[in-house]
Structure 1
């Protein structure tokens, strides 16, 4: 049996673009595959913002001298890392807020990085030989020639952690102009926004089916 890890970081319980694309991707993966899906919700149920610092300082404290808060933070780090490490495929939802990585997602990355299996410089990165999907939603347009070109400081950082630090094979599925439907100033971009969204769902479907075939072949070998 294969395991898929899914991380939801949107603060929207309804109408979230990343959640919808993740649904399409997850559905395509598990449709014909014997798989377990492990979900972590950090958008609607945020992780404690002080846990990372507490866990880091706990690492310099003898185990028998740690405070209850330090023990809880270390346990949280282990729990989050276990969820990710248990899966052959990771689906990471990354909505852009204020032109960058949401605080909820940054907190999750910081905490997982505090686990020895996912820290920088390990001989065999925990994601080696595994697939990660980065599902990105941007409210505006960030491509070359747009007013916000060069403002995307998040995608490269996210990919660097997943690929260069953790060793995953990374596929990016992205939708832009997601605020066009609700922003009068972007009314002229609605059709293009719908096209981009449809393309993102199509990519999710295609990539999901492909990774399901790969996992099925591995299981049958």
Structure 2
């Protein structure tokens, strides 16, 4: 039975969130394809994970039998998140752009699961090669050739972390111009937003089916 790790980080609930709408579309198709599968779900806005602390960080470089009580407690939280990552056959991440970057809650999750010698910088990592679908929504457009191309720090950052550091296999779905329906100054861009949103929903459904076929092969 396949296991999906689904991470949402938008501060907006339900259909008010562009990224959640698209991750929901992916998950719906995934669950249709895997009726007996498991979904591990983390809503980082509703239930944020602890930000990394000195105890949690230093415990990762020390033998467990040398941990202080504080290190042991903090590291246990990290291990729980790491084990969820390692169990997953596929990963789905909602990563909206806030002030040019990912939400701090998503950064906290990444800081916890990145552990040198286990999930990172380890050729024997259990998570190595796991496919990751990232829904990287943003209020404007930061595509190549646009005026704000140089401010695209979400996709670039997550590509480096997920592929280069964690040795995962990321793919991106990018709904753009999500502020157009809410900002009068962007009213003329609403049709482009609608087209981008529709394309993202289709891409999510297609990607879920493709991963089902890939994992079954």
1:187–1:28 CA distance, 2 compared to 1 (3 A) = same
- Equivalent residues of 1:52, 1:111 under 8 A apart: no
Match of 2:10 in 1: 10
- Equivalent residues of 1:54, 1:70 under 8 A apart: yes
Question: C-alpha separation between the residues in 1 aligned to 2:89 and 2:135?
Answer: 17
1:204–1:69 CA distance, 2 compared to 1 (3 A) = same
Q: Compute the displacement of 1:138 (Å).
A: 0.5
Match of 2:204 in 1: 204
| SS at structure 1 position matched to 2:190 | helix
Long gaps (5+) in structure 2: none
Match of 2:42 in 1: 40
RMSD, aligned CA: 1.8
* Bigger share in strand: 1
Long gaps (5+) in structure 1: none
Question: C-alpha separation between the residues in 1 aligned to 2:66 and 2:213?
Answer: 49
Matches within 5 A, 1:1-221: 1-14=1-14, 15-33=16-34, 34-49=36-51, 51-59=52-60, 63=64, 66-114=67-115, 116-119=117-120, 121-215=121-215, 217-218=216-217
Q: Compute the displacement of 1:21 (Å).
A: 0.6
- Equivalent residues of 2:95, 2:136 under 8 A apart: yes
Q: Compute the displacement of 1:115 (Å).
A: 6.3
Q: Compute the displacement of 1:93 (Å).
A: 1.1
Q: In the comparison of the two structures, how many residue pairs are matched?
A: 215
1:148–1:116 CA distance, 2 compared to 1 (3 A) = same
Question: C-alpha separation between the residues in 2 aligned to 1:31 and 1:208?
Answer: 10
Question: C-alpha separation between the residues in 2 aligned to 1:192 and 1:129?
Answer: 34
Question: C-alpha separation between the residues in 1 aligned to 2:114 and 2:62?
Answer: 18
Q: Compute the displacement of 1:83 (Å).
A: 0.6
Question: C-alpha separation between the residues in 2 aligned to 1:207 and 1:94?
Answer: 17
Please give the TM-score of this superposition, normalised by the length of structure 1. Answer: 0.89
| SS at structure 2 position matched to 1:7 | strand
Question: C-alpha separation between the residues in 1 aligned to 2:2 and 2:63?
Answer: 37
Q: Compute the displacement of 1:62 (Å).
A: 5.9
